[in-house]
A and B are shown apart, each in its own frame.
Chain A
Amino acid sequence: MRVSTLGFGVVDVPETCLLHFPDGIHGFPHMRRCCLLPHPDSPGVRWLQCIDDPALVFLTVEPYLAFTDYQIELSAADADALGLTDARDAAVLALVTASNRGATANLLAPIIINTQTRSARQVILEASGYHTKHPIVIGGPNGPPADAKE
């Protein structure tokens, strides 16, 4: 399907590449359908573009590239909501906040994707010790730092 976006113009997205967020994400309940657009220069970095709102886009990173010991314990409620029964069917992305002071990754509330159904959900890892602003370097010569967890 052809998707209009503010940042990338019109993008052709195969139906099989859509991500479905049945509940939206916190603060953006209307964000129901999205696609991932790989960043050309940084492996593991993708734009998460909302299909229903051309102006809504996020920067995401595969957290393991920067935070090698990142651990997720998915609650039964979240696993149920995602229809996940096997951890091998799950993929994870962290939302990145880029500002003048640099970039941070939100490890407290990652996006979990059921890669079989392409259903996705932002989960909150309560009591995990992670927070919303883990410093991260994107597009540096050696990629993200090896261990930026605080």
Chain B
Amino acid sequence: MLVLTRRTGERVRIGEDVEVVIVSVRGDQVRLGIAAPRRIAVSRAELLEQVRDENRAAARGASRSLRRGDATTPLRSPGRSPLSPCRIGTLKREARGADTKNGDH
């Protein structure tokens, strides 16, 4: 792993189009600004791991329910029950705040 020492306000460039800036340092908290194209997902790693672990638990739980016979009653054929529309507050057009992402190119 590459380890760099940087000061507040200094930047690191990753590849052609990702830039990380050290916004501030206070105690053991570092605020990073990350500028990346939309197609590159920027997430806190522990959040991704949490979702991954939950998905695995969900798959285990669903298989267990099926083995117990929760689906022994005949299924309705797929497609007969339309999905309710999603209530999305906004399709976000703005980039996230400086906490995670510092804007799009």
Contacts and interface: CB of A to CB of B under 8 A. Distances in A.
Interface of A: 6-8, 11-14, 16-17, 25-28, 35-41, 43-44, 46-47, 55-59, 62, 64, 70-77, 79-81, 84-88, 90-93, 95-99, 103, 106, 108-109, 112-113, 115, 122, 124, 126-127, 132-133
Interface string B69-105: 0010111111111011111111111111001100010
Given A8-B66, A13-B78, A39-B71, 9 more contacts: A6-B66, A40-B73, A73-B89, A73-B92, A74-B92, A92-B88, A103-B61, A106-B51, A126-B43
Contacts, number: 179
Contact of A76 (B40, B65, B93): B93
Nearest to A75: B92
B43 A92 contact: no
Nearest to A95: B58
B83 A26 contact: no
Instruction: Place the interface of chain B in its size category.
Output: 35 or more
B17 interface: no
B52 A26 contact: yes
